[in-house]
């Protein structure tokens, strides 16, 4: 089976700083890939390169067999590779329904269709109570769902989720994880950057570990957890964080 | 792991040592344009070096005062994030203060600085406290329109009081000096020197005094400044007051040169915006140098496009800067 | 809250009819406005016309800066390009102002897209974008002022014709037709705003205003829609310029491209309510008559203002005070504040 996303020798530098260096991996359709690593490991940079926020310094990204290196994020989103933001970014003055409908419209749906789809998605993510509220009135957990709902309205094949659980208390996490699993069950490939290790282990089929911009390990959660290099890098970082 | 980091930083250090700093290119372009303009002006005047020298001298003289006005504007923007469209009207206010005190009380016009500066300072503080402060952090348009309306209010209050006829400040005998063949009147030289001195005084006040440190702290990080105990709302008031005082001082300095009308300050408004963008919003020394550049642009624009308004040169510089280097010529970060 | 959860929530999607509340309001406004010139006394007509011109200009600014969030401080450019394009075509070639208007709209839109594209290419935003639009408008003014080909600082007089002609947009002084012509144009601009606000382009514009990065991440081609919005706004601004010229029969560089025109364009929606459909109309109803009211007061001042008689300056001072009061106490504008109050109930 051909991979839906493959990244080859991807590097990104800012000025003299190497944020991501020579990362290569590929993902099959329907897989959940967790990307982990200590702070500053280059996870978000890797995401941004893949999602088209800025082009990589070198290397390529293929999506559905097409070289999409250098595509804009809007082009990729319309093609079905969509990212969400760690800090929620709703269109504050719009209603929750319109937030989602506008994404469906960006995909090309007409007004009726986009409203209808938005409504269905809101029911699916459990935001239907808030449909006619302005989105800036939503609590954090609601905004996280809205972020997901908006991405789903694009009928994505690949979702790039940046710390979708961050800022949620543990009781709020479980419903979101279940939501993610149901999205995956619809055949959507999920790539997610996450700090909550428990969630990474529970959700991921594969795990990619970054450290100082380089790929440290790539494999099943079990393989990765038992990799001594990973333990050193990760725990070392955790210990240092605890010290400071 | 630690070694990787060292290598990375060593790499960048090396590359910085051998290459031009990343922000040098636009400055080089700016210098190249300046040389080109000078050359074209030389051709245009059929090689008359006298006209060029005169343009240089006149441009720099005017530029000093522009710089002082822009200094106030850039300070207000840097700290309050408000573009003060009343800055030109405040300059006019300074002119009229000098006009009244010098002509009715018989003061030497330059001594009226001791009245116009504190008066405009107090006025600025009042305006910030009762007006600007209330709509800070709201819509971008609101503070802009507030200051615009304030400018209209000042100008028309002056019109109501003094009428629209041009007034002038009585000065003594005007001495003319010769600088490399170009001529400059005493009052222009005083305006230039006075503006420069005041600007530098302000610069050192910002660098050396505790209130200056507090202002710079609020400009770079208001939340942090508040956390370490800076009374930010007081700083906002003081900063706006200083900005207004700069305009007032500039008004006094040019009062003997210009014909004083309620809209005489408007030209300072437009040039001040250009200067502020040129020097980088919020950059103090940038405003001063920007002032000199705009003063020159005005004069050389006049030589290159003799049929056009002097302002055309200023606007061309403005647009070039916006596109080449929107963060300003004199700021290091992008 | 708890029993709400059990209830199944009815779908909030109403089938959107073409004649929604805004459309009905528009029809009512037109109906009310049609007989207005018949009720006005001589001399008051120019106030009514000024309301119309202000409203169109305000609507234009509101599209770009209210809905689109791109703060324009150079709307005089669109107004002036419209006025000048139609004047040049009319004076030099005898072409009808209707065609001149269409041409002016195109010219203004092209100019707007060009300047906008330059600004966005160089990533100018917020304050910088506003200052750039200001600089370009001022440059236009300066260039026109010294270009002999377009009569430099003299400007254009619209050639007078005999009688009245809808085709040449010219009527005898005091004719009600001027107001009805303006009403047609204003109704067109209001209709365009209503349709814009509910269109995909309008929704995308608001999304981009709220968060450009997020808009791009959901697939909206940001640059294309920003430029589209600017071109709509610019075309509308040109309409105001053409109608202005046809009513006053005169245009010059300061009237067309002066900074004061740009300020007017901002003030009207700010007083009325930025980013709302009806804000600019409310703003123009409040602002346009102001000069006349103050002028009337000064001509015949009440006893305590006797000393003001014949003094100039007071009218603009009152204007400025009004702006300050509105911004300080109704920061969302008159219509915007009312709308918020109604919504909260």
Could you tell me which residues are beta bridge partners of residue B311? none
* DSSP letter assigned to residue C160: P
Cα separation, B125 vs B274, in Å, equals 25
* A230 is a domain residue: yes
Helix (H), strand (E) counts: chain A: 9, 10
Residue ranges in chain B modelled with pLDDT below 70: 1-27, 30, 47, 137-140, 325-334
Q: Do C324 and B142 touch (CB under 8 A)?
A: no
Nearest to A93 by CA among C206, C125, C219: C206
Q: Do C200 and A73 touch (CB under 8 A)?
A: no
ipTM score: 0.86
pLDDT tens-digit map of C234-259: 999 999 999 999 999 999 998 999 88
* A75 is a domain residue: yes
Are B174 and B185 contacting, i.e. CB atoms less than 8 angstroms apart?
Answer: yes
Chains that touch A (3 or more CB pairs under 8 A): B, C
Instruction: Tell me which chain C residues have a C-beta less than 8 angstroms from the C-beta of A120.
Output: none
By CA distance, what is C221's nearest residue in A? A74
C-contacting residues of A 146-185, CB under 8 Å? 150-151, 153-154
Instruction: Tell me which chain B residues have a C-beta less than 8 angstroms from the C-beta of C270.
Output: 141-142, 145
Cα separation, C142 vs B273, in Å, equals 17
Query: What is the band of C14 on the pLDDT scale with cuts at 50, 70, 90?
Result: low
Least Cα separation, residue A17 to chain B (angstroms):
7
Cα separation, A12 vs A18, in Å, equals 6
**Dihedral, A103, A107, A112, A113 alpha carbons, nearest 10:** -110
Q: Do A51 and C217 touch (CB under 8 A)?
A: yes
pLDDT tens-digit map of C189-224: 999 999 999 899 999 999 999 999 999 999 999 999
Instruction: Tell me which chain C residues have a C-beta less than 8 angstroms from the C-beta of A121.
Output: none
**Nearest neighbour of B141 by CB, restricted to C71, C135, C314:** C71
Taking the CB of residue B206, how many other CB atoms lie within 10 A of it? 18
Instruction: Tell me which chain B residues have a C-beta less than 8 angstroms from the C-beta of A236.
Output: 1
Please spell the DSSP secondary structure of A98-148, one letter per residue. HHHHHHHHHHT--HHHHHHHHHHHHHHHT-GGGTTSBGGGS-HHHHHHHHH
Nearest to C326 by CA among C264, C271, C284: C271
Chains that touch B (3 or more CB pairs under 8 A): A, C
Please spell the DSSP secondary structure of B33-68, one letter per residue. HHHHHHHHHHHHTTT-HHHHHHHHHHHHHHHHHHHH
* DSSP letter assigned to residue A128: G
- Of A87-101, B209-223, C19-33, C230-244, the range with the highest mean pLDDT is C230-244
* A123 is a domain residue: no
Contacts of C42 (CB under 8 A, 6+ apart): C174
Instruction: Tell me which chain C residues have a C-beta less than 8 angstroms from the C-beta of A92.
Output: 210-211
The model carries a pTM of 0.85
Q: Do A212 and B4 touch (CB under 8 A)?
A: yes
Q: Is residue A74 scored above 80 in pLDDT?
A: yes
Interface of A with B (CB under 8 A): 15-18, 212, 233, 236
How many domains is chain A built from? 1
* DSSP letter assigned to residue C96: -
> According to the model, what pLDDT value does residue B227 have?
86
| In chain C, domain spans | 42-266, 289-345
**Nearest neighbour of C118 by CB, restricted to B308, B316, B323:** B323
Residue from B1, B7, B15, B20 whose CB has the most chain A CBs within 10 Å, to mutate = B1
Nearest to B147 by CA among B78, B77, B195, B96: B77
The predicted model gives C176-182 an average pLDDT of: 90
Are B62 and B185 contacting, i.e. CB atoms less than 8 angstroms apart?
Answer: no
Are A209 and A217 contacting, i.e. CB atoms less than 8 angstroms apart?
Answer: yes
Domain harbouring A238, CATH code = 3.40.50.300
Instruction: Tell me which chain B residues have a C-beta less than 8 angstroms from the C-beta of A22.
Output: none
Are C210 and A92 contacting, i.e. CB atoms less than 8 angstroms apart?
Answer: yes
Q: Do B157 and C136 touch (CB under 8 A)?
A: no
* A25 is a domain residue: yes
> According to the model, what pLDDT value does residue B96 have?
95
Residue C217, burial from CB neighbour count under 10 angstroms (0-12, 13-18, 19+): buried
Chains that touch C (3 or more CB pairs under 8 A): A, B
Q: Residue A90 — φ and ψ, nearest 5°?
A: -75, 160
Least Cα separation, residue C175 to chain B (angstroms):
34
Instruction: Tell me which chain A residues have a C-beta less than 8 angstroms from the C-beta of C4.
Output: 129
Determine which helix (DSSP H) or strand (DSSP E) holds C240, and give its type and residue range: helix C222-248
Higher pLDDT, residue C183 or C44? C183
| In chain B, domain spans | 67-324
> According to the model, what pLDDT value does residue C60 have?
97
pLDDT tens-digit map of C73-103: 999 999 999 999 999 999 999 899 999 999 9
> According to the model, what pLDDT value does residue C288 have?
87
pLDDT tens-digit map of A98-149: 999 999 999 888 888 888 899 999 988 888 888 888 888 888 888 888 999 9
By CA distance, what is B323's nearest residue in C? C122
By CA distance, what is C122's nearest residue in B? B323
Residue-number span of the structural domain to which A171 is assigned:
5-89+155-243
């Amino acid at each position: 089976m051909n991979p839906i996303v493959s990244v080859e020798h991807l590097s990104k530098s800012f000025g003299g700083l190497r944020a991501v260096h020579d990362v290569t991996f590929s993902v099959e359709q329907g897989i959940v890939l967790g990307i982990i690593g200590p702070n500053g490991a280059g996870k978000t940079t890797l995401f941004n390169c893949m999602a088209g926020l800025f082009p990589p310094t070198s290397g390529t990204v293929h999506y559905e067999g097409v070289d999409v290196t250098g595509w804009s994020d809007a082009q990729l989103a319309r093609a079905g590779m969509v990212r969400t933001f760690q800090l929620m970014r709703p269109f504050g003055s719009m209603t929750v329904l319109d937030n989602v409908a506008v994404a469906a419209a960006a995909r090309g749906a007409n007004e009726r269709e986009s409203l209808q789809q938005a409504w269905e998605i809101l029911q699916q993510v459990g935001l239907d109570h808030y449909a006619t509220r302005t989105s800036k009135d939503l609590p954090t957990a609601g905004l996280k769902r809205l972020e997901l709902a908006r991405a789903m309205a694009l009928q994505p094949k690949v979702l790039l989720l940046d710390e979708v659980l961050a800022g949620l208390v543990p009781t709020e996490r479980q419903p979101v994880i279940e939501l993610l699993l149901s999205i995956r069950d619809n055949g959507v490939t999920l790539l997610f950057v996450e700090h909550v290790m428990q969630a990474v282990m529970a959700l991921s089929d594969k795990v990619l570990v970054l450290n100082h911009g380089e790929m440290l390990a790539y494999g099943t959660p079990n393989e990765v957890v038992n990799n001594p290099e990973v333990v050193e890098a990760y725990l070392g970082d955790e210990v240092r964080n605890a010290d400071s | 792991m630690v070694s990787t980091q060292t290598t990375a930083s060593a790499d960048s250090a090396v590359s910085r040592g051998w290459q031009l700093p990343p922000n040098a290119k636009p400055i080089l372009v700016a210098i190249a344009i300046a040389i080109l303009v000078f050359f074209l002006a030389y051709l245009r005047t059929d090689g008359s070096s006298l006209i060029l020298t005169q343009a240089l001298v006149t441009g720099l003289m005017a530029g000093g005062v522009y710089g002082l006005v822009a200094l106030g504007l850039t300070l207000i923007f840097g700290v309050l994030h408000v573009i003060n469209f009343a800055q030109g009207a405040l300059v006019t206010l300074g002119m009229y203060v000098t006009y009244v005190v010098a002509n009715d009380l018989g003061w030497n016009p330059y001594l009226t600085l001791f009245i116009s500066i504190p008066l405009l300072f107090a006025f600025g503080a009042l305006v910030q406290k009762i007006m600007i402060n209330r709509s800070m952090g709201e819509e971008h348009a609101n503070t802009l329109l507030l200051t615009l309306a304030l400018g209209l209010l000042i100008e028309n209050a002056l019109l109501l009081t003094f009428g629209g006829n041009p007034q002038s400040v009585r000065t003594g005998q005007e001495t003319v000096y010769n600088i490399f063949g170009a001529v400059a009147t005493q009052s222009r030289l005083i305006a230039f020197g006075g503006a420069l001195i005041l600007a530098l005084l302000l610069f050192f006040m910002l660098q050396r005094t505790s209130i200056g440190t507090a202002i710079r702290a609020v400009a770079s990080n208001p939340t942090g400044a508040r956390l370490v105990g800076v009374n930010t709302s007081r700083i906002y008031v003081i900063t706006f007051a200083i900005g207004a005082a700069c305009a007032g001082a500039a008004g006094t300095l040019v009062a003997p040169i210009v014909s004083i009308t309620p809209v005489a300050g408007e030209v300072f408004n437009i040039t001040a915006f250009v200067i502020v963008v040129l020097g980088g919003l919020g950059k103090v020394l940038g405003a001063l140098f920007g002032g000199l550049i705009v003063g020159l642009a005005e004069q050389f624009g006049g030589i290159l496009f003799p049929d056009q308004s002097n302002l055309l040169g200023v606007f061309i510089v403005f647009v070039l800067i916006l596109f080449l280097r929107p963060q300003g010529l004199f700021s290091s970060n992008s | 809250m708890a029993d709400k959860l059990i209830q199944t929530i009815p779908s909030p999607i109403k089938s959107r009819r073409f004649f929604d509340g805004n459309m009905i309001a528009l029809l009512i406004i037109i109906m009310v406005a049609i007989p207005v010139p018949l009720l006005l006394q001589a001399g008051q007509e120019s106030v009514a016309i000024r309301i119309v011109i202000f409203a169109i200009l305000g609507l234009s600014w509101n599209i770009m800066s209210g809905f689109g969030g791109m703060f324009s401080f150079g709307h005089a450019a669109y107004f002036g390009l419209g006025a000048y394009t139609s004047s040049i075509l009319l004076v030099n070639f005898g072409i009808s102002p209707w065609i001149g208007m269409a041409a002016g709209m195109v010219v203004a839109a092209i100019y707007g897209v060009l300047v906008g594209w330059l600004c966005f290419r160089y990533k100018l935003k917020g304050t910088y974008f506003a200052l750039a639009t200001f600089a370009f408008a001022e440059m236009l003014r300066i260039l026109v002022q010294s270009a002999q080909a377009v009569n430099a600082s003299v400007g254009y007089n619209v050639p007078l014709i005999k009688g009245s002609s809808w085709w040449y947009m010219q009527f005898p002084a005091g004719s009600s037709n001027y107001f009805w012509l303006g009403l047609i144009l204003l109704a067109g601009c209001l209709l365009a705003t209503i349709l814009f606000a509910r269109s995909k382009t309008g929704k995308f514009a608001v999304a981009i205003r709220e968060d450009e990065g997020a808009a791009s991440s959901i697939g909206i081609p940001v640059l294309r829609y920003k430029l589209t919005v600017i071109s709509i706004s610019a075309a509308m601004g040109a309409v105001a310029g053409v109608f202005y010229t046809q009513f006053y029969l005169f245009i010059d560089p300061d009237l067309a491209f002066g900074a004061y025109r740009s300020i007017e364009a901002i003030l009207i929606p700010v007083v009325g309510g930025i980013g709302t459909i009806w804000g600019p109309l409310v703003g123009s109803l409040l602002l346009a008559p102001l000069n006349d009211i103050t002028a009337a007061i000064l001509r015949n001042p009440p006893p305590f203002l006797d000393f003001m008689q014949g003094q100039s300056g007071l009218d603009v001072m009152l204007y400025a005070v009004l702006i300050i009061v509105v911004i300080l106490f109704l920061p969302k504008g008159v219509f915007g504040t009312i709308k918020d109050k109604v919504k909260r109930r």
